[in-house]
Amino acid sequence: MHVPVLTKEVIKYLDPKPNENFIDCTIGQGGHTKFILEKTGPYGKVLGIDLDPSQIENTKLQLADFKERIILTNDSYSNLKNIIEEKKFEPVNGILLDLGFSSEQLENSGKGFTFLKNEPLDMRYGTENQKPKTKNQKYLTAEEIVNECRQDDLERIFKEYGEERFSRQIANKIIEERKIKKIESTLHLVKIIKKAVPLKFQRGRIHCATRIFQALRIEVNDELNNLIKVLPQIISVLAPGGRTVIISFHSLEDRIVKNFFKEEEKNKALKILTKKPITADFEEIKINPRSRSAKLRAAIKPI
């Protein structure tokens, strides 16, 4: 089972009580939700949302003991208000948004999220017929991006979403290589990245392909725009006294959440509960290395 990050902290700041209702906007395999359900018995419910249909199926298996108190939907959390109206799910006492992706998706999806296996360059969370969510989103898969994007657009994606110092060199090398052969697999892309990155920078703690794969995943799934869309909806649907906890894994995500919370606190629509982002302690990082980049922020809607 996927190991959820910052579980103690999630429960502390959401503060679930018996018979309260919560939403897990990225339910994954239900790791956080299990703890919420244990705290909200006997009648409290959780509405679980995930864009990846395989994650919904995994959650059904993992949380079979709670099936009477969990409602699952295969959708994007950017449609939060519509989902709540459709499911008639109220009141909403708390909302969790964990922006990380699960080890199951990384290791077993076959969609090219990992650079350690030879897989197609897909990287979509959703179904095979997933369509762009915005007018500005031109590409459906990572393969389309690396084979069709102009060099300056590739450089922008890698620099903005991956914070990659060698964005220009990698974009240039991709353009050169795709003229020879279409780039269709993860290992082909990794080989190209290694050609572009100086040798001494290929031996660091972080694999030289990490930031490029992250940037492509964010672009394919329109992750930052979806975050921007959902934040005002969270305030709108929370009951007075309701809490929200957001876990990000990328500096751009964290900045969006931080600035939104600050602005809404000025408007008296929220009260920030975490002056600084909460991070994993040494013990958790030792058990779950992926938790090292997690940052948790929490806020409460005034009564």
Query: For the chain, what is the radius of gyration of the CA atoms?
Result: 20
Average pLDDT over residues 160-175: 96
pLDDT digits 0-9 by tens, 56-71: 998 999 999 999 999 9
Asked if the model's pLDDT at residue 3 lies above 90, the reply is: no
More confident of the two residues 149 and 129: 149
Asked if the model's pLDDT at residue 209 lies above 90, the reply is: yes
Q: Any idea which residue has 């290589």 for tokens?
A: 177
Asked if the model's pLDDT at residue 121 lies above 70, the reply is: yes
Q: How many residues does the chain have?
A: 303
Instruction: State which amino acid sits at residue 225.
Output: N
Q: What is the mean pLDDT of the chain?
A: 92
Backbone phi and psi for residue 47, each to the nearest 5 degrees, phi listed first: -95, 115
Torsion sign, CA atoms 148, 153, 158, 162: negative
Instruction: Report which of 56, 58, 187, 61 is spatially closest to residue 127, judged by C-alpha positions.
Output: 56
Domains, the chain, ordered by start: 7-104+223-300 (3.40.50.150), 138-220 (1.10.150.170)
Q: Any idea which residue has 């990287």 for tokens?
A: 123
More confident of the two residues 4 and 19: 19
Count CB neighbours of 244 within 10 A.
27
Between CA 81 and CA 97 the distance in angstroms is 14
CB 254, CB 248: distance < 8 Å: yes
Tell me the HSE value of 197 on the side-chain side, using a 13 A CA sphere: 23
CB 223, CB 160: distance < 8 Å: no
CB within 8 Å of 87: residues ≥ 6 apart: 47, 71, 73
% of the chain exceeding 70 in pLDDT:
93
pLDDT digits 0-9 by tens, 220-250: 999 999 999 999 999 999 999 999 999 999 9
